[in-house]
Every structure is written in structure tokens, then in C-alpha cells.
């Protein structure tokens, strides 16, 4: 298992803390008395399935009750799960800006896109791209149906910046390059009187390696968080949370 230090260790630490937070939410806001009762009923129905396996009518009743108690168990978990969803979505969104993409390497190419408001006609429009620490490799490619203009660029300095000019307005965005984790805002909104609405940089996807295979950060994060929550659940008594 190969994990880059800058990528894996910090993500693992955040995942462990998130697992503990999930455990705390479920213990703090769940009805543990009713959950214990439901678990007891589920075990009882499983025992009945084995005990009365030779009696079809008894097996059918046990299966019906098992489905019923499983549904109750899921319903009891919906409340705590809902409380965890909102902060979880916000956390995933922010983590994706750090772990979902990586900065460009020296000389590495990327696509810079500019989006325009309707009813901009790019067939008669002439947007231009300039770069500081960024070399523009290609002429503009217009996508009229998408109201988008694209250029291919590559970085020439650790701190680059691009500027889109339309004649009616001008807007810029930074281009990150070099090793190390950082917050990448790959799409920058533009507000102004002109038609330009956003600028985006197509940073490469970042992956970890697990036994030589690439693994998306979401998979690693979810696995470590779940394992941490289960481990804490076994190690930390319920009355301590």
C-alpha cells in the first residue's frame, strides 16, 4: 500500500476525526433504548427462523416480523443520519477542493475555460486570454452552444495568473502549480456589466495509491471514517459520549 505523505496522512487524520464525530452524533441524538429493543427483536426473529425452519407458516411469520423490525431500525437511524448529512456534505465539498484535484506541475498543460452569459454569440465574439507565469499554447476554441471559450495553457512559474479580456470587461484567476496540498478554487465566478460569468482551470484529478491501484479520496475517506466509527464504538463506552 503506497500513500503519499502529503496526501494520505492529513486525509486519514480528518477521516478519523470525522468517524468519531459521526459516532458522537448517532449516540447523542438516537433513542438507544428503542434501538436496543429493536435489535433484540431482530435477533429473536433470526432465532425463530432457525428454530422453526421445518414449519413454513412459522418461517413466513418470522420473515414478516424480521422485515418489520428492520424497517423500524432504519427509521430510528434516520434522525441522526439527517443531522450528519448537512455538515457531511459541506465537509465533502471543501475537502474536494483540497484532495480532489492537484496543482499543475512545471510545464504541464491544462485547459482554461471561460463561460459567458446568454445571449452572447461567440461566433462573432473575440475573447482573449493573457497569462503571467502561464503560457498560452493554443488559439481560442469557441463552443457557441455552451457559451464557452477554451484555451490550452501550461505553467512557467510557481505562481501563475490568467486574465480573460472581452473588450467589455476583464477578469483574472490564479493558476496553482508545484507540489504540496492547497485549496484549489478551479472555477472562479465573475460579476460585472459584461458577458463574462466564470473562469475555470482543468486541474488534474488527484488519487492515492492502494496496492498499486489509484483510489479516489472519497473512497479512502469513507472507508477510514466508517472503520474509525466502528472502532471507537467498540472502545468507548456509550455513557462516555
Cα 66 to Cα 54: distance, rounded to the nearest angstrom:
18
**Quick one: average pLDDT of 111-125?**
86
pLDDT-derived band at 210 (thresholds 50, 70, 90) equals: confident
Nearest to 155 by CA among 111, 212, 108: 108
Residue ranges and CATH numbers for the domains of the chain are 5-100+216-240 (no CATH), 109-201 (2.60.40)
Residue 30 confidence class, pLDDT cut points 50, 70, 90: confident
Smallest Cα–Cα separation from 3: which of 176, 223, 231? 223
Strand, helix or coil for residue 136? strand
Model confidence band, residue 240 (pLDDT cutoffs 50, 70, 90) = low
- Residue 226 phi, psi dihedral angles, 5° rounding: -65, -45
Query: Which of 180, 232, 239, 237 is CA-nearest to residue 21?
Result: 232
Closest CA relative to residue 80, chosen from 21, 28, 18, 20: 28
Amino acid at each position: 500500500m503506497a500513500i503519499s505523505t502529503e496526501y494520505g496522512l492529513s486525509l486519514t487524520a480528518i477521516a478519523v476525526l470525522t468517524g468519531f464525530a459521526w459516532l458522537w452524533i448517532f449516540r447523542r441524538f438516537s433513542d438507544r433504548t428503542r434501538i436496543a429493543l429493536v435489535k433484540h427483536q431482530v435477533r429473536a426473529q433470526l432465532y425463530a427462523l432457525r428454530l422453526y425452519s421445518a414449519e413454513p407458516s412459522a418461517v413466513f411469520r418470522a420473515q414478516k416480523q424480521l422485515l418489520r423490525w428492520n424497517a423500524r431500525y432504519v427509521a430510528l437511524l434516520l434522525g441522526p443520519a439527517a443531522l450528519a448529512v448537512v455538515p457531511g456534505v459541506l465537509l465533502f465539498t471543501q475537502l474536494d477542493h483540497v484532495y480532489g484535484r492537484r496543482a499543475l506541475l512545471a510545464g504541464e498543460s491544462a485547459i482554461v475555460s471561460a463561460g459567458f452569459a446568454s445571449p452572447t454569440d461567440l461566433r462573432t465574439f473575440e475573447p482573449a486570454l493573457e497569462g503571467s507565469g502561464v503560457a498560452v499554447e493554443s488559439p481560442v476554441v469557441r463552443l457557441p452552444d455552451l457559451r464557452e471559450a477554451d484555451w490550452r495553457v501550461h505553467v512557467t512559474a510557481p505562481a501563475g495568473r490568467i486574465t480573460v479580456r472581452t473588450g467589455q470587461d476583464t477578469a483574472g484567476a490564479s493558476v496553482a502549480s508545484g507540489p504540496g496540498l492547497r485549496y484549489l478554487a478551479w472555477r472562479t465566478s465573475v460579476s460585472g456589466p459584461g458577458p463574462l460569468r466564470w473562469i475555470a482551470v482543468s486541474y488534474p484529478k488527484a488519487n492515492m495509491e492502494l496496492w498499486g491501484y489509484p483510489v479516489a479520496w472519497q473512497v479512502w475517506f469513507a472507508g477510514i471514517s466508517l472503520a474509525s466509527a466502528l472502532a471507537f464504538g467498540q472502545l468507548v463506552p456509550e455513557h462516555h459520549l
